[in-house]
Structure 1
């Protein structure tokens, strides 16, 4: 395989250093149709149009080959390459506070113009995929995938879907070599703009993101109550299963993080489980998860936006059982004058020593409260947790001071993460430990 990982670090100017010492626009109001294949909006279309397809084309592979081969791949080969999810070699206690450096190396994640809600994923050959939502005109949306072999120049290679429905929040995850899942929100509206159906749809690519086919609905519900599902995030569990988390509104003043899992590369999903926030009056949403260590224990840290105090701040949770249960809720970042301003849309990644980086958007630098127009991108850092406690930076580091939105963060290697965001298109900037 080409050593794209080394090419990426060399292009970023980071390789030698490391050897010696990273809501959206108003939605259109119609059903959407992906390229070369129609995704009907009817509530029971899975069973009617795609049930036979899934069982005939994927059933035997999922039950026989996947269960015997894919788990071993996930636990051994894949886990080593997804360093942002399984960093190695953490020290125990007494961690120094991470000393980070933001590089002035902003680059585009597309070869074309425009795009929002950017995210990154790594393939097993070392190349990177970017994903984002583009608005090509005529009320359409396209969920676009681009690829890079050097971490600097991205070429658009495919579209997961294109149409006039409310599709957004695309998140990619490679589950086997060149087999990539794409999860996204997929909502229908009637002509007046009222929601009629909510979904988290999953598509699958067998060629590294060039072409896509429908796989499943990870979650769906009627839109009659106006309470939707949003913002999927995916990671590989310790047992080789795909863990997909998303936000679900339980009431207009209550939103919680849900979990579904798949053992057949996204063809079927478990019943949803609420991880936190079912019975309180907080709107927890836009979660992200990173793997770290707390002493001798594996740990996951989840971050999300919420309204515990003021309009919006960032809080976190810790799991010691691979995401099955969560506790140690705490504040990650509150904006200055938190009773007026906002800090939201967080994502998290870890470095090789277990240190953590949370990238988010905030309007705290503007006197006028105009969310999300006046938002910019910032980050806070912390050493690994110690006995369930995380000491986050009291002040934030600016990543992009211009009007910028919908950030993500991706672990490029053990010393560098890439912060992604929209600023006149999908962009990225490197953050490294010193």
Structure 2
């Protein structure tokens, strides 16, 4: 049976490649209001793909004015489990086209990859699901519900209302979320933890207006000086997060060699790592704080004055096991206690997203590990953490507590999702499709 499925997947690849390229050509950038029609066109194209597969129920839905999602359902044999397959059809902005080696919305093969915005994240996830379904045609071993979201790249703001409104249609025994990646080329993974996110805008004010630096410097603190001192307090001397009260935990026992870490991170020669302790803990299961933006006078043309106010955007990743409520309270308390020289501090919450820790045990996970091992020719999957955040996974876990949630995906360490030259490794994509087809077969044999 495994050899038959492998042969069917190989035969399906040219058609799947065409479908993926057609989707990549649609500029479904959900963050750009000017391309809302493209996001809608993308949803319609996805819906048409499932109608062509004989899904008797295919709808484009939205909630509270949010992005268009596709729900499609196809029954399986009597007594078989129902599997929900998730991906998203919206994509990140492509930003400066000059940074791309080929047009971002024209899929282009170079070497072993197919390049284009959404070629991996996450239109390849949609097509991987499609390939697994086509492997079985009308003889699905399980009941299948497709849920293809249209606003993941802008925070999934209306996902929870969608899950609530369509809870009966989306209820499943197993949920497969294809929006993550694998440990390396040739090494599959199941994502079992993700950090959460708290973003905060901070303003420090020391003056009502700018004043001459020669007249008042040395006595009156300027806002950049105060903000710099405040931000520096967020880390200890080694670079570990110094905010008290945040959660940290252990990570999977995975080796991350120095040479690979340096190559994949893009660290400049000679740069040393921040923090101490195991590398994967620092990346997956401990908090991290990054300053992602600063508002202050530009260097070019700056006047010789004390700056009255300065702003920064703080991005804090929180460890699995922590909550955004706790993390936000800890961060705000730290800032209030460390703002220097009596400066006025103003904080504004930008957004938050909960961390996720998945119980990766049980029959569905056993079936997934067997399927992945077969697809990757005997290489068992790694239980992998992810330092980034996919907050909607926590919403799935809360909405469907009885379901087994499997987080998979098509990405690899050099996918460059969200950046220029995003690319899908074509040989790994074939393995992803094969693994999901094998998984559906094994889940069908388990029964409900």
After TM superposition, the score normalised by the length of structure 2 is 0.23
After TM superposition, the score normalised by the length of structure 1 is 0.24
Which one has a bigger Cα radius of gyration?
Answer: 2
Q: Which has the higher strand share?
A: 1
